[in-house]
Amino acid sequence: MISVLVLCHGNICRSPLAEVLLEAAIATDPALSRRVRVSSAGTSNEHEGEGMHEHSAALLERRGLRAEHRARQLTIELANQQDLILVADRWNLRDARGIVASGIRRAEVRLIRDFDPAAQGSDLDDPWGHPESAYERAAEEITAALPGILSELRARA
């Protein structure tokens, strides 16, 4: 089983959105559907235990996808359970690499947008505090990276 963790700052907007979108894409891929487990976390504990942001949840519900979620923080123990950690931006990348370096097992840590060859910039902008259109843009950027992520996972399977 390949374990993938999606990571952002608070684990209420970008990472749960990417978790569910990636999970849905994996479910339609026979080579991956029973071989990859996806979850998410944040680098911060400020939203720990909270549900997904209402705009992320509404976006997923409109697509017929699950919107249940409880925010949690990345720990060394959680990092040690991962094969691949996909991060939203450069700040998450720095924080995740520090946590992973402290652990026993060394998960690979990569930016989500690195999997989109047409991406302009490396960061998935944080939509928190912005209108619903910012969440739609984040979902579009995540969706554009999905083919590359799936290809990476197929190579690991």
- Catalytic member of 89, 95, 116, 126: 126
The answer to whether 148 touches 116, Cβ cutoff 8 Å, is yes
- Catalytic member of 14, 89, 113, 116: 14
- Catalytic member of 8, 89, 95, 116: 8
Q: Model pTM?
A: 0.96
113 catalytic residue (yes or no) = no
Domains, the chain, ordered by start: 2-156 (3.40.50.2300)
8 catalytic residue (yes or no) = yes
pLDDT single digits (tens) 23-79 = 999 999 999 999 999 999 999 999 999 999 999 999 999 999 999 999 999 999 999
pLDDT single digits (tens) 142-152 = 999 999 999 99
Q: How far lies 127's CA from each of 14, 54, 113, in Å?
A: 8, 12, 15
User: In percent, how much of the chain has pLDDT > 90?
Assistant: 94
Exposure letters 18-35 (e unless 16+ CB within 10 A, then b): bbbbbbbbbeeeeebeee
Both tokens assigned to 35: 């071989």
106 catalytic residue (yes or no) = no
Could you give the CA distance from residue 13 to residue 9 in angstroms, rounded to a whole number?
9
